[in-house]
Amino acid sequence: MGMETTSIEPGSVLNVKSRPPRVITDGDIKLPINLFKHADVMTPLLSTLGPITSSVLKTLLLLKIEVGTPYRVRDVMIPMRDGVKVAIDLYFPSKSAYTRRQKLPTVLIRMPYWKDKLPLIGQAFSQHGYVVVVQDIRGTGHSNKTGINSFTILEREDGQDVVAWVKRQFWFNGKLGTWGASYLGMTQWVIHDSEDITCFGIQVSSPRNLWSQHNGLAINELSAALSRIQCDGAWFYDPMSLEKQERMHYYQYTTHYVHNPAKGMFNMPVGKEKFTLLDMEAVKKKEMVSIMKAVFGLDLHATKPEPEKYQRFVMELIYGSTVGHLSRFMPGMFDFKAKNVKRPYLIVGGWYDMFIRVSLEDFCDIRANADPFARKHIKMVIGPWAHGDVRHPDIKLNNVLHGGFADFIKNVINVDWYDYWLKDIGPDEHARIEKAFINAPPLRIFTLGANTWRWEHEWPLARTRYQNLYLHSSGAANSRRGDGTLSFDAPTTDEQPDDYLHDPANPVLTAGGNNLHIPKGAFDQHLAESRDDVLVYTSAPLPQGIEVTGPVKCILHAATTAVDTDFMVKICDVYPNGKSYNIDDLGLRARYRAGVLKPPTLLEPGKAYKLEFDLWPTSILFKKGHRIRVSVASSDFPKYGVHSNLASGNKGEYTIARQTIYHDKDRPSAVVLPVIP
């Protein structure tokens, strides 16, 4: 495990100064080396080669050659209702389409990552006959000299204002679609009820709270990435090199959280926050803006940039103890109601994406509660993808068009979706798209293992049979060398429990999963499974394949010597060669065992609790001859911040906790699998 733990009595209060945690390197968490960190190579390259590159992209998407030189109008500054101006770029199919004031359908993209980094998408859509409007949102990129980013709070109003501006322009023919992934999806969700928009195209995004879907765990690496995104756009007018970014205080500050477990080690009394995002859900927008000014000194309506003040705001909001992050929806989207959705939605997700749980909630919510027209025409596509990446041992270059990266791009930029809703296409093309996509069932999923696509009518699948896969051992399940097993048979005896020591100074390291900043997707888990502070339970080789498709749940009967702690659970597919690839992993911060939107409560040390919590949804065929593996630990760093096992509020203090997992006839621990017959 790398540090001496067994000689320290559990419960002894330690300090990061006298016993510092191990420092995690980029190599430890497999962060790739950036060969172009000294210069921003991609932005000028894409700008120069854009029409050629987009032609290649369109050939891939449409399986036919489509060329042209779009005409780009840069940095049109348009006012929002409060006087703040934002910058947009316009892409026309040709210069003549612009000069002749041609009527055309429009695709709107609103982003915080510099519109100059996205010419490829603008050119691809415009080559296909669209006017594309790409905006740097308030306070970011080329909009950062005329305002301050509102951290989504004013995103709805700004979105409405940009849509109203588009409707007044000479080219507007009454058809408007939206496109974008991640934050670009959030800028669509904020105007989810707009009847001025003909169709939505949202990828790997949700209006629901980023923090709340992790069962109370501190989303450490995601917080680092989110902080950098927010501050990058405020500080830099144009895209910058990684070398410049690394010199910024906010980048160095967040890097400590990724590499040093002590930096964000959780040790907070219950109820310390001044206010929570859940409290703000009941507050009117004007009051919300006033709170931001009173608590953080930030005027969201300011027309002059204040990057230093905004940086302090972001760091305090994300890393400080002022605001409790748990709520149903993100700021600026508190008023999301599926019943107000009236237009067709295409939602794209991935089984390894950090939004997949809530994206499926969005899909189900719209199908159940939206306007009948929207319910009829919602579509969701879920591939074997992570957040902008593809990594799984079965997804190789020879099937790049079937689940691989090219397939990912084709689904993210679904040209047929926009053509159907926004263009006056011919009857043959109309019929083709209707048959292939529009009239198909609402859900299309990729099943790992089988490596096939299929359409489904609902989620969860109506034919699902939930089965408990039980943990067993003789009390020595520590590491993959231990005696932990899995079986669909429930324990019938008083099996000995398993225990391990959770040392916050020596956390289990993240290897893949549903991440943003650090490597994501499926990775071999042999390093984590070799540790004695990881309990490992493995089935016998499967005599026949088992398909698991749907929401996955865990039931742990557990005790700890701590007053609060974390439990992490991971499900893996063990191949015949012995490699163990993560399929599903999540955990629970014990104080939130009743739910993240309910008041947290501490534990009674030594008392056994029944802990039930959701893991990520998935779809996988565990093939004949493969084995299923479940591991239990108490850390997953830097994906999640490490728990100190304390709740004293004394910064830098932590304790080693003895964790006990029961799996006897009265306290059976299991993962609940959605098995498809």
Query: Residue 59: its pLDDT value, please?
Result: 58
Any domain includes 51: no
Any domain includes 288: yes
Indicate the burial class of 168 (C-beta count within 10 angstroms; 0-12, 13-18, 19 or more). Answer: exposed
Domain that includes residue 608, residue range: 13-33+463-676
User: Cα(253)–Cα(223) distance, rounded to whole angstroms?
Assistant: 12
User: Cα(139)–Cα(141) distance, rounded to whole angstroms?
Assistant: 7
Orientation angle between helical segments 415-422 and 42-62, nearest 10 degrees: 70
Residue 1: pLDDT band with limits 50, 70, 90: very low
Element (H, E) at 596: none
Give yes or no for a contact between 215 and 357, defined as CB atoms under 8 angstroms apart. no
The radius of gyration of the chain from alpha carbons, rounded to an integer in Å, stands at: 25
The verdict on 500 and 648 lying in the same domain is yes
Give yes or no for a contact between 591 and 602, defined as CB atoms under 8 angstroms apart. yes
Of 302, 324, 346, which marks where a domain is finished?
324
Please give the average per-residue pLDDT across 40-68, as a whole number.
58
Q: Look at residue 83 and tell me whether its pLDDT is greater than 60.
A: yes
- The CATH number of whichever domain residue 567 belongs to comes to 2.60.120.260
Domains identified in the chain, total number: 2
Give yes or no for a contact between 495 and 518, defined as CB atoms under 8 angstroms apart. no
User: Cα(378)–Cα(364) distance, rounded to whole angstroms?
Assistant: 10
Element (H, E) at 535: strand 535-538
User: Cα(640)–Cα(623) distance, rounded to whole angstroms?
Assistant: 31
Any domain includes 553: yes
Give yes or no for a contact between 516 and 225, defined as CB atoms under 8 angstroms apart. yes
Q: Look at residue 52 and tell me whether its pLDDT is greater than 70.
A: no
What tens digit of pLDDT does each residue of 523-559 get?
Answer: 999 999 999 999 999 999 999 999 999 999 999 999 9
Any domain includes 441: no
What tens digit of pLDDT does each residue of 482-498 get?
Answer: 999 999 999 999 999 99
Non-local CB neighbours of 117 within 8 Å, separated by 6+ positions: 42, 43, 46, 239
Q: Look at residue 50 and tell me whether its pLDDT is greater than 90.
A: no
- Predicted TM-score (pTM) of the model is 0.94
Mean per-residue pLDDT of the chain: 93
Any domain includes 182: no
Any domain includes 334: no
Of 285, 307, 324, which marks where a domain is finished?
324
Any domain includes 74: no
Indicate the burial class of 347 (C-beta count within 10 angstroms; 0-12, 13-18, 19 or more). Answer: buried
Of 281, 305, 324, which marks where a domain is finished?
324
Query: Residue 282: its pLDDT value, please?
Result: 80
Please give the average per-residue pLDDT across 434-460, as a whole number.
97
Counting residues of the chain whose pLDDT is more than 90, the rounded percentage is 82
Q: Look at residue 36 and tell me whether its pLDDT is greater than 70.
A: no
Give yes or no for a contact between 660 and 497, defined as CB atoms under 8 angstroms apart. yes
For the chain, the distance separating the N- and C-terminal CA atoms, rounded to the nearest angstrom, is: 41
Q: Look at residue 399 and tell me whether its pLDDT is greater than 90.
A: no
**DSSP for residue 351:** E
Give CB contacts under 8 A, 24+ apart, made by 320-323: 321/268, 321/272, 321/273, 322/273, 322/274, 322/275, 322/295, 323/273, 323/274, 323/275, 323/276, 323/277
Any domain includes 125: no
Query: Residue 31: its pLDDT value, please?
Result: 86
Q: Is 272 left (phi over 0), alpha (psi -120 to 50) or beta?
A: alpha
